[in-house]
Structure 1
Amino acid sequence: MFKNLIIYRISASWVADFAALEAALAKSPFAECGPTQERSAGWVPPRGEEHGALAENIGGQWICRFMTEAKMLPASVLNRRVNEKAAHIEATEGRKPGKKEKKELKDEAKLDLLPMAFTKQGSMWVWLDPQARTLVLDTGSQARADEVVSSLVEGLPGFALALLDTQTSPQAAMAHWLNSQEAPAGFSVDRECELKSCDESKSVVRYGRHPLDIEEVKQHIQHGKLPTRVAMTWDDRVSFVLTAGLQLRKVAMLDAVMEGQSQDDRGFDADVAIATGELSKLIPDLIEALGGEGRTGLGQQLPASLGS
C-alpha cells in the first residue's frame, strides 16, 4: 500500500463531508470495458469486496481505490488489419484508398479487433486526510493523478487542490544535502541517487547501492550536475526516493514499523492505520526539511481544467 506518492494540499474552503465523498464516488463506479470500448475507469471498493463501500474511514483517514482497464491492441496488429482491408479494396475495385478512407478503415479495423483484445487493469490507492487537508495518490504518473483529481473535483463541490509546494525546491535541497554530506534532522541519505547535467550534454550519472558521502558526488554537483532523485530514510522507519518534482517513490515501511505486528494482526484496517500513521508524520517532517510550505505562496497550480 502506497508505494509512490504524489501529494496535494486541499483548499481551506472545502468542507470535509464523508457522506458527500461516498455520494460523489457512487456517480463514477468502475465497470469493465465493453466489447468495443478501449478504456474504462472508475471507483472500486478499497477492501476488494464485491458491492462493498467505495470509501472507507479508518481512524479519520479516508481511503478509496481508483481502477482503470484498457484494451491492449498492438499497432502492428491494427496496421496489418488496415492493410488487409486496403488490399481487398484495391483487388475488388481496382483503386487504392485515399488518406481519408484509410482513416475510416483504421476505425473499422479497431472495432473489429477490440472485442478480441486482451485487457490490462491497474488500480491506485487514494488517501484523503481531512484534518491535515492533504490528498495523497499512490502513483508516479502525473497523468494518472490528473485523472483522479479531475474525478474528485468534478464530484465534490468546493474541492480545490494544488500540488504540494515548499519554500526550498527538492532539487536545491538534495544538492545541498549531497554537497554538505549532511541530511536534514530526522532523515538519512541512503545509497541511491541520479544526477543530471543542466547543459546541452544532458549527461547523467547514477549511483545504485553505493555510498553517496564521497568526493566524487560533491564534484559532480560543483560541476553543475543536479540531483533528480535521492534515496532517503525517515526516522529509521520509512525508506523512499525523493524526486525533483516532490514525489516519493519506492516507499517502504522498515522493520521498526512492523515490530510487534504478526501476520495474524494484519488486514485492511491495520495496513491502512500503519501506512497512514507513518506517512502522516513523515510528510510534515519532509515539508519542514524543505524549508516549510509555499515557495510561491499559492502552491503549484493545477491546470485550469482540473482546478476549476
Structure 2
Amino acid sequence: MFKNMIVYRIAPQWQVELTQVEEALAKTPFMECGATQEKSLGWVPPRGEQHGALAESVGGQWILRFMVESKVLPGSVLARKVKEKAERIEQETGRKPGKKETKELKEDAKLDLLPMAFTKQGSMWVWIDPASRLLVLDTSSQGRADEVVSLLVDSLPGLSVALLHTQTSPQAAMAHWLKEQEPPVGFSIDRECELKSATEDKAVVRYARHPLDIEEVQAHIDAGKLPTKLALTWDDRVSFMLTEGLQLKKVAFLDTVFEGTKADDGGFDTDVAIATGELVKLIPDLVEALGGEVEGGPAAAGAALTQPDGKAATAVAPRKSKGAAAGVVTGPEQEPVDTDPGSVPF
C-alpha cells in the first residue's frame, strides 16, 4: 500500500462526512469496458469485497480505490484495418479516400476491432486524511493523478485541492543536503540520486547503490547539475525517493515499523493503520525540512475535468472559487451544511 505518493492539500472550507463521500462515489462505480468502449474508470470497494463500501474509514483515515480499464489496440493492427478499408473503396469507386474520409475510416476500424481487443486494468489507492486536510494518491504519474483529482472534484461538491507547495523547492533543498552533507533533522541520505544539467545538453548523472558523500557529487553540483531524485530515509522507518516535483517514489516501510506486529496480523485494517500512521507523521516532517508550506500553492490539476464516462469535459474548465489561489482545482458550489459537534471538519 502506497508505493508512490502525490500529495495535495484540501481547502479548509470543504466539510463532509464519510457517508456523503460514499453517496458521491456510488454515482461513478467502476464498470468493465463495453464491447466498443475504449476506456472505463470509476470506484471499487477498497477491501476487495463485492458490493462493499466504496469509502472505508480506518482510525479516522478514509481510504478509496480508483480503477481504470482500457482496451489495448496496437497501432499497426489499426493501420492495417484502415488500409484494407481504403483499398476496398478504391477498388469499388476508382478513387482514393481523402483526409476527412480516412479519419472516418479510422474510427470505423476502431469500432470493428475494439470488441476483439485485450483489456488492461490499473488501480490506485486514494487516501483522505480529514484531520490534516490531506489527499494522497498512490501514483507516480501526474497525468493519472490529474485524472483522479478531476473525477473527485466533479463528484464531491465544494471540493478544492492544490498540490503541496513549500517555501524551499525540493531541488534546491536536495542540492544543499548533498553539497553540505547535512540532511534535515530526522532524515538520512541513502545511496541513490539523479543529477541533471540545466544546460542544452541535458546531461544526466545517476548513482545507484553508491555512497553520495563524495567530492564527485559535490563537483557535479558546483558544475551546475541539480538533483532531480534523491533517496532518503525518515526516522529509520520509511525509505523513499524524493523528486524535484515533491513526489515520493519507491516508498518502503522498514522492519522497525513492524516490530511487535505478528506475521498473521496482516489485513486491510492493519495495512491501512500502519501505512497512514507512519505517513501522517512523515509528510509534515518533510514539509518542515523544505522550509514549511506555502498556502495556496500551484494547481493540483490543470487538465480538463473528467466526466464519469471517462471523456474529457472540454466545455467545462476547472473553476476558481471566489478568493481561491490561482490554479486551485474546485468543484461545483456546495450547499451550506449544518454539522453537529461530532462531525469531522475539513
Q: TM-score range by the shorter chain?
A: over 0.9
Give 3-state SS (helix, strand or coil) of 1:167's partner. Answer: coil
One-letter amino acid matched to 2:77? V
**2:321 is equivalent to residue 298 of structure 1:** no
- Structure 2 contact 43–64 (Cα < 8 Å) conserved: yes
Q: Which runs of 5+ in 1 are unaligned?
A: none
Give per-residue Cα distances to partners, 1:103-152, cap 9 Å, x unaligned.
11111100000000000000000000000000000001111111111111
Matches for 1:53-64 after TM superposition, within 5 Å? 53-64=53-64
Give 3-state SS (helix, strand or coil) of 1:252's partner. Answer: strand
2:174 is aligned to: 174
How far did residue 217 of structure 1 move?
Answer: 0.3
How far did residue 260 of structure 1 move?
Answer: 2.2
Distance 2:261 2:67 in 1: 29
One-letter amino acid matched to 1:243? T
Matches for 1:8-87 after TM superposition, within 5 Å? 8-87=8-87
Give 3-state SS (helix, strand or coil) of 2:231's partner. Answer: strand
Give 3-state SS (helix, strand or coil) of 1:301's partner. Answer: coil
Q: Which runs of 5+ in 2 are unaligned?
A: 303-316, 319-328, 332-346
- Structure 2 contact 197–226 (Cα < 8 Å) conserved: yes
How far did residue 100 of structure 1 move?
Answer: 1.1
1:197 is aligned to: 197
* CA distance 1:109–1:73, shift in 2 (3 Å): same
- Structure 2 contact 158–330 (Cα < 8 Å) conserved: no
How far did residue 82 of structure 1 move?
Answer: 0.4
How far did residue 90 of structure 1 move?
Answer: 1.5
Distance 1:88 1:118 in 2: 27
2:147 is aligned to: 147
Distance 1:197 1:176 in 2: 16
One-letter amino acid matched to 2:298? Q
Q: TM-score, normalised by structure 1?
A: 0.97
Give 3-state SS (helix, strand or coil) of 1:32's partner. Answer: coil
- Structure 1 contact 195–227 (Cα < 8 Å) conserved: yes
Give per-residue Cα distances to partners, 1:39-91, cap 9 Å, x unaligned.
00000000011111001000000000000000000100000000011111112
- Structure 2 contact 241–249 (Cα < 8 Å) conserved: yes
1:307 is aligned to: 330
One-letter amino acid matched to 2:235? D
- Structure 1 contact 168–290 (Cα < 8 Å) conserved: yes
Matches for 1:111-260 after TM superposition, within 5 Å? 111-260=111-260
1:99 is aligned to: 99
- Structure 1 contact 160–307 (Cα < 8 Å) conserved: yes
Distance 2:65 2:139 in 1: 12
Calculate the aligned-residue CA RMSD, in Å.
Answer: 1.0
Seq. identity, %: 70
How far did residue 17 of structure 1 move?
Answer: 1.3
Distance 1:220 1:5 in 2: 28
One-letter amino acid matched to 2:36? T
Q: Which moved more, 1:181-190 or 1:149-158?
A: 149-158
Distance 2:52 2:214 in 1: 53
Give per-residue Cα distances to partners, 1:179-212, cap 9 Å, x unaligned.
0011111000100000000111110000011000
How far did residue 284 of structure 1 move?
Answer: 0.6
How far did residue 101 of structure 1 move?
Answer: 1.0
Distance 2:117 2:83 in 1: 19
How far did residue 94 of structure 1 move?
Answer: 1.7
How far did residue 263 of structure 1 move?
Answer: 2.7
- Structure 2 contact 7–134 (Cα < 8 Å) conserved: yes
Distance 1:45 1:158 in 2: 23
Distance 2:14 2:96 in 1: 59
How far did residue 92 of structure 1 move?
Answer: 2.2
- Structure 1 contact 16–130 (Cα < 8 Å) conserved: no
How far did residue 19 of structure 1 move?
Answer: 1.1
